[in-house]
Amino acid sequence: MAITVAATEAELELARRVRLEVFVQEQGVPAELEYDELDATSVHLLAVGEDGAPLGTARLISGAEALELTGVEGRVLLGRLAVVRAARGTGLGAELVRAIEQAGRERGARECELHAQVQALGFYERLGYAAEGPVYDDAGIAHRTMVKAF
């Protein structure tokens, strides 16, 4: 398995397919909410298996867009972390989080924010994230903001 930055249109399409499968088809998130204007300016990571099949993806928002969304200087935003059903439980999700964190540090970030689905809070806590603020609804799914300092 390899995790790389999705740099070509074909790689970006593989990342979109993972998000379609996980968020839209499995979780019922409307496609018009899943894909947004931030996709065009974000860094997308793509995990593929030895056969080239897409297994997971995550999105990094940094710079002025991250500042606008988080309100905190030096913070990046991890989002759209998705792992296909066949690759769950393999550690891939944690690897994608660590890769996003590294990409954030390379861009000068001192911390990372994410908006976790409530059922995934334990996963992120094990990776060093702490919940902040109340539970809120995002696309019909309960979420909570989490932050980790580097």
In the three-class reduction of DSSP (H, G, I as helix; E, B as strand; rest coil), residue 48 is classed as strand
Instruction: Go through the domains of the chain in sequence order and give each one's CATH number.
Output: 2-149 (3.40.630.30)
Closest CA to 79 of 102, 59, 93: 59
Helix (H) or strand (E) holding 131: strand 130-138
| CB crowding 14-40: b at 16 or more within 10 Å, else e | bbbbbbbbbbbeeeebeeeebbeeebe
Number of continuous H segments (helices) and E segments (strands) in the chain: 5, 7
pLDDT tens digit string along 39-95?
A: 999 999 999 999 999 999 999 999 999 999 999 999 999 999 999 999 999 999 999
What separation in angstroms does the CA of 92 have from each of 54, 72, 81, 133? 12, 28, 10, 28
Cα-Cα-Cα-Cα torsion 97, 45, 80, 64, nearest 10 degrees, comes to 90
The reported pTM is 0.95
Closest CA to 61 of 114, 20, 21, 4: 114
Closest CA to 92 of 22, 36, 11, 20: 22
Please report which confidence band the pLDDT of residue 108 belongs to, taking 50, 70 and 90 as the band edges.
very high
Contact residues for 68 (Cβ-Cβ < 8 A; gap 6+): none
What percentage of the chain reaches a pLDDT higher than 70? 100
